[in-house]
Amino acid sequence: FIRFQSSSHYCIWGLCDPQQYCCGDNVCCNEADFNSLLLTVIISGTGLLLLILCCICYYCISRQIYVSFIKKYFKINYVLMSNQCENKTNILKNQESVEDCIVSIEKTKTML
């Protein structure tokens, strides 16, 4: 943190100019220096927040494009881990019911 000291006047004697304030060890500093530092911090903080927001948006959009590309061109389903167990049990149930149907159809064919 750098402070620009305009003079070595002491604050206790009231020798600071109207555009100065007391800083550090009873020394007069310019308000312009403080204001420029504050403005720099505000602009930098705003820029950093915008950069973070842009990165988040880019990440979300790229994930959506990537998932749709995989589904469309590679015929790969993108499934969350929590749904995989449910899907496996549903597939097993459907296969059993299909096997039952096939068996009953075969039995019907043999009976005819």
What's the pLDDT tens digit per position in 74-84? 665 555 454 44
Identify the helix (H) or strand (E) that includes residue 21. strand 20-23
Contact status, residue 87 vs residue 79, Cβ threshold 8 Å? yes
Q: In this structure, is residue 37 part of a structural domain?
A: yes
* Measured distance CA(29)–CA(17) in Å, rounded: 9
* Measured distance CA(104)–CA(112) in Å, rounded: 12
Q: In this structure, is residue 58 part of a structural domain?
A: yes
* Measured distance CA(82)–CA(85) in Å, rounded: 7
Q: Distance from CA of residue 33 to its chain's centroid?
A: 35
Q: In this structure, is residue 99 part of a structural domain?
A: yes
Structural domain count, the chain: 1
Given this model, what pLDDT does residue 52 score? 94
Q: In this structure, is residue 43 part of a structural domain?
A: yes
Tokens of 91: 């597939």
Top-confidence residue, 17 or 97: 17
- Residue 75 is part of which domain span? 20-111
Q: In this structure, is residue 8 part of a structural domain?
A: no
**110 band by pLDDT with thresholds 50, 70 and 90:** very low
Q: In this structure, is residue 27 part of a structural domain?
A: yes
Q: Taking Cα atoms as reference points, which of 63, 86, 67 lies closest to residue 76? A: 67
Contact status, residue 39 vs residue 45, Cβ threshold 8 Å? no
Top-confidence residue, 34 or 45: 45
Q: In this structure, is residue 24 part of a structural domain?
A: yes
Q: Could you say which DSSP state residue 5 is in? A: B
Top-confidence residue, 75 or 95: 75
Top-confidence residue, 111 or 12: 12
